[in-house]
A and B are shown apart, each in its own frame.
Chain A
């Protein structure tokens, strides 16, 4: 934030310095504000102001929207129009004054040329050069910034790609290795747990991006999750899990139900108190009835425990994916937490 403010201040300072150039270089610089009426200085001031406006417009709008999108013709046309504006608006606002001089007759011929003044191109040339310089300057800084940005984004993309590619392979290969070792050692419970974990992670990584998956896979995932939680929690909690009905040939949005189960395990277990978790799944033709109940136990970090973020996400997904196809009831009091969901499957 401070960096941003500093940048803005720097830009304003640069603009003011730039605008003060015509004043400081005015032909008859004097300390009063008379220069405002002095034609040359006034015209320059207007020209410089237009240049600054064009400078920022070019940097923030014209270069990214035209030049970098290969729309070269409109881009250069706009530059040309801006140049014309820079040159002629000042003259329109404050036209050249004619100097009325008393001229001896023998110098009349010479004076006529003087009265015409220097050719108009000569007067305007310094503004043209300044304009071109500013134009090139915006191009250079914008393009170099763009290049830095793309470089950075490319690096981030590569990193994300590597993270996504390397880790799963390493993870699954390692899990398979541990599974084989567990079997060698005849550690059947360990072997099963590892396979279940591996299957769960595979499911999340390969299937979770689909819109709908087979109900069987989702049910396997929930079963595995509960099995692994049983290993983790041992006899600190009593868990009842039932699943009835046929899962074959039905589809469901992936990971739709698991947040409710996770929620029960997150808040329902405390070894110091009797804890109970119930998960019931009943499938009747294309309807799924899902019930989760857990006891709520006083925990020290109660504030953090009831953020409800996971449940809110689950509710939002239900509303998005099954509008009018589901009913969700959540009952919550001091000691119990239960949810009832009925869902019309596709």
Chain B
């Protein structure tokens, strides 16, 4: 079982993630965050295996957030705009293929 959290400044994106994670039996999405500070505090207490992380957030970029946490975890970066064609990112909104 993979324990995961998701961080995104847009609540609908989190709801979509939650919905998809519920369908996958080996991922347990523990909690979702719109506030990066709350996410940081949570991570200090409860380590996770995987973070779904939005790149563009108003307070801190997803990359800087990842650099600032101490523990080693897997991360899936996501973005909301098509105008930044980076490889290895998932595009929001998520869809089922």
Contacts and interface: CB of A to CB of B under 8 A. Distances in A.
Interface size range of chain B in the complex: 10 to 19
A7 interface: no
Contacts of A172: 80
A195 B95 contact: yes
A177 B12 CA distance: 5
A183 B15 contact: yes
B16 interface: yes
Given A195-B93, A195-B95, A180 B13 contact: yes
B82 A176 contact: no
A44 B80 CA distance: 75
Contacts of B82: 202-203, 206-207
B22 to A, nearest CB: 10
Nearest to B15: A180
Contacts of B12: 173, 176-177, 179-181
Contact of A198 (B10, B15, B19, B93): B93
B92 interface: yes
B10 A179 contact: no
Nearest to A194: B93
A179 B83 contact: no
Interface of A: 172-173, 176-177, 179-181, 183-184, 192, 195, 198, 202-203, 206-207
Given A184-B19, A206-B82, A206-B83, A176 B13 contact: yes
A315 B19 CA distance: 45
A143 B11 CA distance: 52
B10 A173 contact: yes
Interface of B: 10-13, 15-16, 19-20, 80-83, 92-93, 95
17 contacts: A173-B10, A173-B12, A176-B13, A176-B80, A176-B92, A176-B93, A177-B11, A179-B12, A179-B93, A180-B12, A180-B16, A180-B19, A183-B16, A184-B19, A202-B82, A206-B81, A206-B82
A192 B12 CA distance: 15
A172 B82 CA distance: 12
A207 B13 CA distance: 23
A181 B95 CA distance: 14
A176 B10 contact: yes
Nearest to B12: A180
B92 to A, nearest CB: 7
Contacts of A198: 93
Given A176-B10, A202-B82, A206-B83, A184 B95 contact: no
Nearest to A173: B10
A162 B20 CA distance: 35
A183 B10 CA distance: 16
Contacts of A176: 10, 12-13, 16, 80, 92-93
Contacts of B10: 173, 176
